[in-house]
């Protein structure tokens, strides 16, 4: 809470400068990030870089923020670049949102899924999509 109190107008550059602190932010801080930060490629890269040190509840909070339709639209419309940028957060999407990922979106990240740390429901959706795609491909 102190970060956003101290820097109420958190810019993308300031966020990037402070990005080593991401793993130490409270979930409430993460939920209050301005939407303009989350649509910035450099901010997403910083989140990706520091995600290994984040707790699951922090990743869940950021994943939920990604679901705001005004940010990136609906999950099936998310472009491959966004999916790659937020890959460490994808396993933390609510299952009903994760299930909206299309086979094409899942296929585009095929080599990245083994390290993603998927839970059973998420992994089943990925495996089903990849198997169905390989059957269609011949």
> What would the two tokens of residue 134 be?
């390989």
The pLDDT tens digits for 51-75 are: 999 999 999 999 999 998 889 999 9
The reported pTM is 0.84
**Domain regions of the chain by residue span:** 2-137
- Rounded to 10 degrees, the C-alpha dihedral 114/115/121/127 comes to -20
Length of the chain in residues, anyone? 138
The pLDDT tens digits for 11-52 are: 888 888 888 988 998 898 888 888 888 899 999 999 999 999
Closest by Cα among 111, 66, 129, 74 to 92: 66
């Amino acid at each position: 809470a102190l970060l956003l109190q101290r820097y109420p107008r958190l810019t993308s550059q300031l966020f990037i400068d402070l990005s080593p602190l991401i793993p130490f932010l409270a979930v409430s801080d993460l939920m209050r990030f301005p939407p303009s930060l989350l649509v910035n490629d450099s901010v997403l890269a910083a989140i990706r870089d520091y995600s290994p040190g984040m707790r699951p509840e922090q990743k869940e909070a950021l994943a939920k923020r990604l679901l705001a339709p005004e940010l990136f639209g609906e999950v099936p419309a998310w472009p491959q670049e966004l999916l790659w940028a937020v890959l460490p957060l994808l396993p933390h999407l609510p299952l009903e949102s994760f299930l909206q990922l299309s086979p094409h979106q899942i296929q585009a990240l095929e080599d990245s899924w083994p390290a993603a740390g998927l839970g059973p429901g998420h992994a089943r959706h990925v495996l089903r999509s990849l198997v169905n795609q390989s059957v269609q491909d011949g």
